[in-house]
Every structure is written in C-alpha cells, then in structure tokens.
C-alpha cells in the first residue's frame, strides 16, 4: 500500500466537522506523554503545555490533538501515563465535557484505532483513592483523520497525523514499537536518540514531507495540517498548502497551530524572563496570521 493509498483512505473515511469564522481551534501533536521517567520527553514541557491549554480552554478554543499524544511505544499501557500526568488529562476532560476535544491517532498511539482499546482505557479509569471507576472521556472515538469544512466558503482543511506518508512507521509500527521498548527506550535514558524516527533523521523527514506534499498537490492543493516529523511548517498562500504544527517536545518550548477569525497562525509557547528576571510562560507568534480563504484554489 502506497502513501497515496493510505492518505486517500484517511481522507475518504475522515470525520467531518463544520466550522465558521467564529470557531477557534488549537492544534497540537506529538506530545508523547509518558510515565514521568527519564525517558518521558513530555515531562520537560509539561508545565508549558498545561499553561497553554488552560489559556485555550478559557478563551473558548476547540482542542484537536493530531496524533502521538500518548507515548504507547515506550509504555506498555495507558495507566502509568494517566497517573503521571493526571492534571493534564483532567484539563483535557474539561474540553471533552464541552464537546471541544478531538483526538487523532498517530504511530506512537496507533493502538487507539482499536475501539475496544479506547473503550477500555480512555472511556473511564479506576480511581485507587475511591476504589471506583470514574469517567475520563466517555464514548470518545479516536479518528485517523478529520476534515474541517467551512460553513460559508465550503473550504476543507484536512487534519491527519502524517505517518501515512511514512511506510515503515505505518505498516510496520509494531516492529518499531518493539524496537523502541526493547532497545531505544533504555538508550534514550542515556541520551542516545532513535535514528529510525523522522524527527531525529533528516533524510527520512524530507522523504515524508515530499510524499505528503505530492499528495496535497494531487488533490488540488488541499490545505493539510499534520504532525509526525516534529518540524513546524507554515507556507505562504500560493505555495503547497502543507502545514505542520511541530511538537510539544522541543527543547524548552512547544509549537502549535491556531485558527481564529478565519485566520491561521503558527505559534510557540516557551519559558522566558521578564525585565525583573522572573520566569514566565509566554506565547510567541511565529508565522501569520493568514486568511484561510487565501489558500483556496477553487
């Protein structure tokens, strides 16, 4: 199965969400939430991520997580991840209770494409303090892809993790998971990176981006927002409409993509000092805002 076939299938079976210029979205991906061990890359940016997500909840944004939210290659099950980052999941639960949370599975949480796994681990959890099951995201479905469709312009935005253009991490993800658990997780603790992932392998990254861009141009330059490679991308109107929200495991910062007032922006949240030398978490605009309609081709 080719990259084209996999992306075609994801687009064909994508969940459709209607939106308008009053709708606000924040896209993050590649959080890789782990068990708070030395191998948990998310732990370094947890406070930045939590602060940013609180901001978006208060401002009425809908949160779309574009895959690899949970690190289920290094970790055998979801329970230690929930326990390590309980405050994060409680905040995500607030989004879900207001119908403002949408999850997409990536290669590192590809087990979420199994509805039974999602029901077992994400619908509810066992609270050791009370000895009872409590709801987490009851009835949630984790999608492979989502299409945002503008109610007035009918413009479509295609949301997908992006590993569909990475044949090894899509087709042989179980082999990759095995290697990560047995080999790369202990090496990661010692500071040695996994060379098989596009995020750490520049040649693989370029190949994945090239395949994705070809699919976009073959589909009338469909505006597409992905993650997977961890490299933020924000094209100008008229260029290939390939957007990448980056990741939440950059050194001391996270990146994401916002949509607000019919415009799209690439942003970064990071720790900075003010004039008094006090550390604070700040939002930095990297690219945009650009009008979504300027990326329309028909």
Contact 156, 147 (CB under 8 A): yes
Give yes or no for residue 190 having a pLDDT over 80. no
Q: Which residue has the higher pLDDT, 167 or 277?
A: 277
Look at residue 268 and tell me whether its pLDDT is greater than 90: yes
- 81-90, 159-168, 232-241: the lowest-pLDDT one: 159-168
Indicate the pTM of the whole model. Answer: 0.91
Ranges 42-56, 86-100, 124-138, 253-267: which has the least confidence:
124-138
Residue with the larger pLDDT of the pair 38 and 288: 288
Q: Is 60 left (phi over 0), alpha (psi -120 to 50) or beta?
A: left
Q: What is the pLDDT of residues 4-17, one digit of tens each?
A: 999 999 999 999 99
193 pLDDT band, cuts 50/70/90, is low
Residue 149 pLDDT greater than 70, yes or no = yes
pLDDT tens across 28-55, in order? 999 999 999 888 999 999 999 999 999 9
> Which residue matches tokens 């949301």?
159
Q: How would you classify residue 35: left for phi > 0, otherwise alpha for psi between -120 and 50, otherwise beta?
A: alpha
The DSSP element (H or E) to which 167 belongs, if any, is helix 167-171
Check whether 286 has a pLDDT greater than 90.
yes
CB 231 within 8 A of CB 224: no
DSSP symbols for 235-260? PPTTS--EEE---S-BTTEEEEEEEE
Map out the domains of the chain as residue ranges. 3-295
Give the residue from 219, 233, 222, 230 showing the smallest Cα distance to 193. 230
Cα 29 to Cα 125, 135, 229: the distances in Å are 23, 24, 10
Residues with Cβ < 8 Å from 223, sequence gap 6 or more? 155, 156, 157, 158, 241, 243, 292, 295
Query: What pLDDT does residue 196 have?
Result: 47
Q: Is the pLDDT of residue 177 over 50?
A: yes
Query: Which CATH architecture fits 3-295?
Result: 4-Layer Sandwich (3.60)
Average of pLDDT values for 75-84?
Answer: 94
Q: Is the pLDDT of residue 189 over 60?
A: no
User: Does residue 26 have a pLDDT over 80?
Assistant: yes
pLDDT of 171 reads: 63
Q: Give SS3 for 131.
A: coil
Cα separation, 161 vs 244, whole angstroms: 9
Is the distance from CB of 53 to CB of 63 less than 8 angstroms?
Answer: yes
* More confident of the two residues 158 and 195: 158
The pair of structure tokens assigned to 181 is: 């658990």
pLDDT at 56 over 90: yes
């Amino acid at each position: 199965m080719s990259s084209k076939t996999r992306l075609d299938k994801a687009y064909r079976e994508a969940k459709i969400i209607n939106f308008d210029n009053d709708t606000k979205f924040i896209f993050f991906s590649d959080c890789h939430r782990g068990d708070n061990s030395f191998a948990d890359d998310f732990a370094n940016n947890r406070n930045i991520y939590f602060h940013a997500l609180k901001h978006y909840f208060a401002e009425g944004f809908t949160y779309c997580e574009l895959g690899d939210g949970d690190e289920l290659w290094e970790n055998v099950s979801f329970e230690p991840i929930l326990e390590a980052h309980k405050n994060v999941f409680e905040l995500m639960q607030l989004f879900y209770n207001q119908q403002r949370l949408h999850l997409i599975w990536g290669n590192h949480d590809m087990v979420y494409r199994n509805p039974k796994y999602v029901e077992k681990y994400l619908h509810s959890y066992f609270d050791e303090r009370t000895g009872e099951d409590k709801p987490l995201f009851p009835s949630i479905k984790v999608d492979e892809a989502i299409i945002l469709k503008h109610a007035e312009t009918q413009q479509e935005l295609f949301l997908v993790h992006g590993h569909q253009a990475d044949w090894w991490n899509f087709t042989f993800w179980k082999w990759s998971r095995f290697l990560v658990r047995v080999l790369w997780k202990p090496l990661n603790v010692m500071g040695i990176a996994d060379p098989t992932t596009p995020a750490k392998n520049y040649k693989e990254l370029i190949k994945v981006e090239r395949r994705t861009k070809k699919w976009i141009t073959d589909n009338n330059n469909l505006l597409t927002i992905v993650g997977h490679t961890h490299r933020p991308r924000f094209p100008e109107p008229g260029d290939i409409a390939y957007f990448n929200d980056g990741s939440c495991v950059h050194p001391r910062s996270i990146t994401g993509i916002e949509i607000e007032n019919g415009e799209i922006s690439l942003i970064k949240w990071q720790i900075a000092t003010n004039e008094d030398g006090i550390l604070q978490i700040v939002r930095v605009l990297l690219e945009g805002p650009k009008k979504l309609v300027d990326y329309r081709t028909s």
